[in-house]
Amino acid sequence: MKLKSVAAGVLAALLVTSVASAEKFVRYEQNGTVSWGELSDGTIYQLSNAPYLGGKRTGASVPENAVKLKAPVDPKLSFMTAFNYSSHKKETFGITKDTTKQPGLFTVPANSIIGPGENMVRPLGAKNFHYEAEMVVVIGKKAENVPLDKAHEYIYGVTIGNDGSERDWQANDIQWTRAKGSRNFNPVGPYLVTGLDYTDLDIEGRHNGVKSQGANSSGMIFDFNYMVHYISQYFTLEPGDIIWSGTMGDTGPMQPGDTYEITVEGVGTLKNKLVQGE
């Protein structure tokens, strides 16, 4: 019992240290100019470049509530992972036998990404638009043929994503590009956070304020380290590229006017509303 108490104390100390060492970064718009910044106690300290590209403080600063936050990512490649939680395969698609041998990898256009507070848009003709709570990691350096035991060295930080999905298109199109990557489908943000244990973070989604999804990143069938290893065998990952976790549990339809919030432990909350496109 005493050994268990000591072990628990050590673990708690490690967790506190991890949270204390976490840093938050943002992309923000001020007077028509988009910049990177480091967030501390409600103040954004402008950076000369993206933090994963070595951006340094310029000396300028601004209160967070005085600017518009943008998605804290600027990727060339955005990789998503299908069927990466057993609960999602079972509850949404009725798949009960797990025969997955490799990740269900696909890409979406990077310009489908929007920021926190921006509106997701349901295009004309879309009738079955769903939310998907996910966690997203950002690559910190060029990655090719990365060994699994080195993959963690290539992950810079963590943010939050909502993989907007048109289920009818997903079922009927030959590919998922339209269903998953249409304009304004994929909110990301509000912060990019470093120093967190991305293998063990709670994720919760709320539809119009009511909890509808929840899981821990430890439940991913293929974790982020494996995804970096796997993807880098075939594609070159560059700093700023992103990988999505895949979603958990059951998803549901959103109607214009609905909101969806996603909270990831240690990162914050991403909230967006769905509107009808013209």
Q: Which amino acid is at 18?
A: S
Strand arrangement of the beta sheet that strand 202-207 belongs to: 120-122, 268-276, 259-264, 202-207, 210-216
Q: How confident is the model at residue 21 (pLDDT cuts 50, 70, 90)?
A: confident
Residue-wise pLDDT for 33-82, tens only, equals: 999 999 999 999 999 999 999 999 999 999 999 999 999 999 999 999 99
Rounded mean pLDDT, 106-112: 97
Same domain, 21 and 108: no
Instruction: Look at residue 278 and tell me whether its pLDDT is greater than 50.
Output: yes
What is the chain's mean pLDDT, rounded? Answer: 91
| Structural domain that includes position 57 | 2-70
Would you say how long the chain is, in residues?
278
CATH number, residue 51? 2.30.30.370
Same domain, 51 and 128: no
The predicted pLDDT at position 101 comes to 81
Instruction: Look at residue 205 and tell me whether its pLDDT is greater than 60.
Output: yes
Alpha-carbon distance 158 to 105, whole Å?
A: 19
Alpha-carbon distance 8 to 273, whole Å?
A: 41
Same domain, 90 and 122: yes
Q: What DSSP letter does each residue of 153-198 carry, written as one string?
A: GGEEEEEEEE--EEHHHHHHSSSSHHHHHSTT-EEB-S-EEES--T
Residue-wise pLDDT for 97-108, tens only, equals: 666 689 999 999
Residue 235 is classified by DSSP as S
CATH number, residue 98? 3.90.850.10
Q: What percent of the chain has pLDDT over 90?
A: 85
The predicted pLDDT at position 95 comes to 66
Domains in the chain, number: 2
Same domain, 58 and 88: no
Q: Which of 32, 52, 70 is the last residue of a domain?
A: 70
Same domain, 64 and 88: no
Alpha-carbon distance 231 to 258, whole Å?
A: 34
Residue-wise pLDDT for 1-14, tens only, equals: 333 333 334 334 44
Residue holding tokens 């943002």?
Answer: 26
Rounded mean pLDDT, 268-278: 97
- What does R_g of the chain's alpha carbons equal in angstroms? 19
Residue-wise pLDDT for 170-200, tens only, equals: 999 999 999 999 999 999 999 999 999 999 9
Question: Residue 81: beta bridge partners?
Answer: 105
Same domain, 88 and 20: no
Q: How confident is the model at residue 23 (pLDDT cuts 50, 70, 90)?
A: very high
What do you get for the CA distance between the two ends of the chain, in Å? 64
Same domain, 113 and 196: yes
Which one has a higher pLDDT value, 150 or 9? 150
Q: Which of 70, 104, 128 is the last residue of a domain?
A: 70
Same domain, 123 and 217: yes
User: Of the candidates 258, 80, 89, 256, which has an alpha carbon nearest to the alpha carbon of residue 176?
Assistant: 80
Q: Which of 26, 50, 70 is the last residue of a domain?
A: 70
Same domain, 84 and 187: yes
Same domain, 112 and 222: yes
Same domain, 14 and 143: no
Residue holding tokens 């973070």?
Answer: 201
Same domain, 41 and 101: no
